[in-house]
Chain A
């Protein structure tokens, strides 16, 4: 479909351009709410809408005071630090265990493959509120079930850093599994056989041959896991305590209680982060396809 042919009727022309206008409006609907936040975050007033000064492009109407607030307010700083402490560790757990399992799952003969896959993907499907409820119950009083009754463990995970990290790692795993198995689908098995043939052990083969080739998939899976943890509110709200307050949690309470324009500054920073992530993932996808010998689209 490249332009309207010259023989098109008026109706066809109207339809062609009308359709494009409709699509444009939908794209606008998708992107405008995100873009509108950016100028609003530079508002000199504590308003959530454009002030007359802003509309007149008067420099007086703009300021970076909400950003200054974000970087000086101890609540926000604590939240940022917590987020940065929780997300990388959770990501590390999901990526290391997830990659290993994805390699296992991509072998040619795996018993119960479908069932295992269903279990591993389920944290993505089960509504967060249900995961959070279950984790809240179980982590506050962990036990080992045996046929003779429960053996209660003498510690609690709710309100602890470890509890939140475990929960977030579990939520990130489906993303790692999906991206890494997708990368492994195109992986040429003869390469590992060739490496083995030349005398490399399984560990050497993995790190020298397989890992570099699937690395883009692993990294983008890791990015998904990272953003899942970094962006997660419901579970941390239930499993964590005030000491584990993360950035989204702080935003959530901010939006619910005293809505402060600092949220818009934080939101703008997060938009910048997601733009960077989006481009990194896109680059990795292309690189991965090139490595696997597929022409990137």
Chain B
């Protein structure tokens, strides 16, 4: 073709069409954009926040920045205590953390990894302000009153040369000044620095730095910080405490994930948790097995119903469909409370069984607060999610196929198994994935009828969020669950297509 075809406005037709298509795409996206933005903010970002929290571990390096740094040089494998700079760093960090009141939070964080650290930190936070380090303060202030002058200190600490000469002091002073402004609401130029700043100054002087006003420190008896920490609690002399702090000082940790599969970071790499702390693998397996049983029960009960509905006249099928849709529309709490009423030992089912005489009055069946209760109640709750997709697939299978099979000599069973059943498999697949996805993340029903033996992984997540406050572990458990569900979602999308999800027939 020699010349391009032109549109009415004289442009090449191709370009004109492209432009129209682009505009159409843009308009579609503009319509979708508000909702997409809304979902991003209200739903997707929270999910990512949770994923992030499962590996985030900034609390140690934020609360104990100096210690974290000092511990980097410490050889953890030697099973020896870290040396003085680490104790100095810990002293400064702990005083500041106690002022910020963040040491207890850190303590409970580390307590997940080593029992006892929580109380150690709480105790130390109270005692750390009463160290004998005031000896240094007195020595400096007696030697020269300028060392007691807040304004003089502020002037020194603004001088880059002095700061370079006294790195520890500068660092301690900065931390102190920042804390003073934010916690005590005071100005550093009006307040005398605290003991730990003088301790840092002493350490600088011992390291050979030139003091702004030279002081003879030979008469000052050095304070052993290690001994001071020992006085608070002997646990500070336990290398394992320091090992735990060092091990969990990186900003990101795999600790929560290891914990959620019953592993822990030991002295030489990853090892299994003690036997009595291994609960999560069991819980994951139990969640899987129970979800599978619920799924199996749903297929077993849903298949005949779907078959019946698909083969009745439309009028009757619609009537019976109400019996399926009513539970579907009824509040989850209503259905759960119904099962609680029915299944309990003084409940309706036990009463009937006693009345018939199947069960002795003093030997009533235990059907609630165990796995049986969870499986019965959840099968009932999820059954409509199995029947509806099965029904919509079975509706498309022509009944003449069965008749054809039979007229060719197949028995009822062969006709069903070789002809009908294979065609209904997509429905079974769709229903099974849907029921499984819904079952695996259930919380309310297991919580109310599951007791201790019939709970799922989601109940454990809720427990860590609201009771034990181990949010990182909750996030890690949630991430694992989410990955499983997303995998199934992807499979579902491949098999059924998310566009084909149907609600209520």
Contacts and interface: CB of A to CB of B under 8 A. Distances in A.
Interface of A: 1-2, 12, 15, 19-20, 22-23, 26-27, 29-31, 33-34, 36-37, 40, 47-50, 93, 97-98, 100-101, 103-105, 107-111, 116-123, 125-131, 133-139, 145, 166-167, 169-170, 173, 175, 178-179, 181-182, 224, 227, 230-231, 233-234, 238, 248, 251-252, 255-256, 259, 263-264, 267, 270-271, 274-275, 277-278, 281-282, 285, 297
Contacts of A263: 337
B35 A48 contact: no
A6 to B, nearest CB: 17
Contact of B336 (A1, A227, A255): A255
A161 B308 CA distance: 46
Given A98-B35, A105-B32, A135-B46, A231 B499 contact: no
Interface in B335-353: 335-342, 344, 346-348, 351
A175 B503 contact: yes
User: Majority SS of interface residues in chain B?
Assistant: helix
Contacts, number: 276
30 contacts: A1-B312, A19-B308, A26-B304, A30-B383, A48-B348, A49-B347, A98-B35, A100-B32, A101-B35, A104-B31, A107-B24, A107-B28, A110-B28, A116-B32, A119-B36, A119-B44, A120-B36, A121-B498, A121-B501, A126-B485, A130-B481, A131-B47, A133-B50, A137-B50, A178-B501, A238-B465, A270-B330, A274-B329, A275-B326, A278-B329
Contacts of A19: 304, 308
A133 B463 CA distance: 11
Nearest to A223: B329
Interface in B458-505: 458, 461-462, 465-466, 471, 474-475, 478, 481-482, 485, 489, 493, 498-499, 501-505
Given A33-B335, A274-B330, A1 B444 contact: no
A267 B341 CA distance: 12
Given A145-B45, A259-B340, A271-B331, 4 more contacts: A129-B481, A178-B502, A230-B331, A274-B334
Contact of A137 (B44, B312, B318, B475): B475
Given A98-B35, A137-B53, A49 B503 contact: no
Contacts of A166: 42
A30 B327 contact: yes
B334 A50 contact: no
A234 B443 contact: yes
A189 B351 CA distance: 61
A117 B327 CA distance: 28
Contact of B28 (A23, A104, A275): A104
A126 B482 contact: yes
B344 A48 contact: yes
B34 A100 contact: yes
Contact of A109 (B25, B311, B399): B25
Please tell me the size bucket of the interface on B.
35 or more
Contacts of B39: 119-120, 123, 170, 173
B447 A123 contact: no
A166 B40 CA distance: 12
A33 B36 contact: no
Interface in B19-45: 21, 24-25, 27-32, 34-36, 38-39, 42-45
Given A116-B36, A181-B499, A278-B325, A127 B485 contact: yes
Contacts of A259: 340
B428 interface: no
B29 A255 contact: no
Contact of B333 (A33, A131, A252): A252
A255 B338 CA distance: 11
Given A234-B444, A264-B337, A170 B43 contact: yes
Nearest to B399: A1
B49 interface: yes
Contacts of B466: 238
Closest 4 CB pairs of A and B: A127-B441, A104-B31, A134-B46, A138-B46
A108 B38 CA distance: 23
A1 B403 CA distance: 11
Given A26-B304, A133-B461, A181-B499, A37 B36 contact: no
